[in-house]
Structure 1
Amino acid sequence: MSAKQYLRRIRYLDKTISSKLEMIETLHAQVTKTTSVLSETPKPQSPEEQDKLAATIAKIVDLKRYLRQELDEFITLKAEAIRLINSLEDSRHRLVLTYRYMNGYTWEEIAVAMHYTYQWVHRLHGQALKQFDKLLQQQEKS
């Protein structure tokens, strides 16, 4: 696996986890949604409504279980990537990879943060990936 593929996995997992969290929030809101009814006696839920509610709760539980697994993978992968990035010699390389893959910055945001041109950021990124790739290959061999 190349350095870019390895680091992109972190961004992909981060976005996947965020998406699932939104899904869980939406389902949770649907389950807890209350509507006002203007009657003296509350209307009992029909068996179909109870089944729907139970199915939605089961989906939420399943999503949370799957999310925990993805979070574990994400935390492990990110910690390892941070360790490898921090072992790069050039601080500019560490910074550009951290901004891009750990913080999710755009190229323009990286250029502004580092006070470099857009082109120079891309050049630094290429250099950083080469160095990261060497570290990754060394790790795979050992």
Structure 2
Amino acid sequence: MLTPKEYLRQAYRLDQRINANIEEVKNLREMSESVSGLRYREDPIQTTRSIEAPFIRVLEKAWEIEERIADELSILYDLKEQIKDAIATVKNIDERLVLQYRYMDGMTWEAIGETLHADRTTVWRWHGRALQHFKMPKCPIELE
């Protein structure tokens, strides 16, 4: 069972994982475009050796990761909708905004303080209270 804080952090972590996968696909695509030239040798042709171009494996790996990204984006969308609805149940506006800014918008404590015109200690206090008042959804989405 997740705590409210763990539940709320899931969107940020999934977003970070998606961004890392996007970066990996970018690197794989760059790698696939830097194919070395063919080398002709006088050695006899080995029939057991794969005749598939090396960049094909790289592209297949990129496609595999892109499929995973698409699946994770769908999960992220559903998770953010569920989190947004759960945050909306917090009655105090300051507490609700702290949760919104922190977990939905990914803002730092300092940025939240500037936006709400409050010092860091006040923001942390609002955050602590918000977590106490936060009601977990009946069927929360849990990531592995």
Q: TM-score when scaled to structure 1? A: 0.81
Q: How far, CA to CA, are the matches of 2:53 and 2:104 in structure 1?
A: 42
Q: 2:72 matched to which residue of 1?
A: 70
The SS at the match of 1:136 is coil
> Where does structure 2 lack aligned partners over 5 or more consecutive residues?
41-48, 140-144
Q: 2:119 matched to which residue of 1?
A: 117
Q: TM-score when scaled to structure 2? A: 0.80
Q: How far, CA to CA, are the matches of 2:51 and 2:122 in structure 1?
A: 59
Higher helix share: 1
Q: 1:10 matched to which residue of 2?
A: 11
Listed as ranges, the matches of 1:1-142 within 5 Å are: 1-33=2-34, 50-132=52-134, 135-136=135-136, 139-140=138-139
Q: How many residue pairs align between the two structures?
A: 130
Query: Following superposition, which runs of at least 4 residues in structure 1 exceed 2 angstroms of deviation?
Result: 32-35, 43-51
> Where does structure 1 lack aligned partners over 5 or more consecutive residues?
36-42
Shift of 1:30: 2.0
Deviations 1:89-116 (A, max 9, x none): 1111111011111111111111111110
**Cα distance change, pair 45–56 in 1 and its aligned pair in 2 (3 A):** farther
Shift of 1:126: 0.4
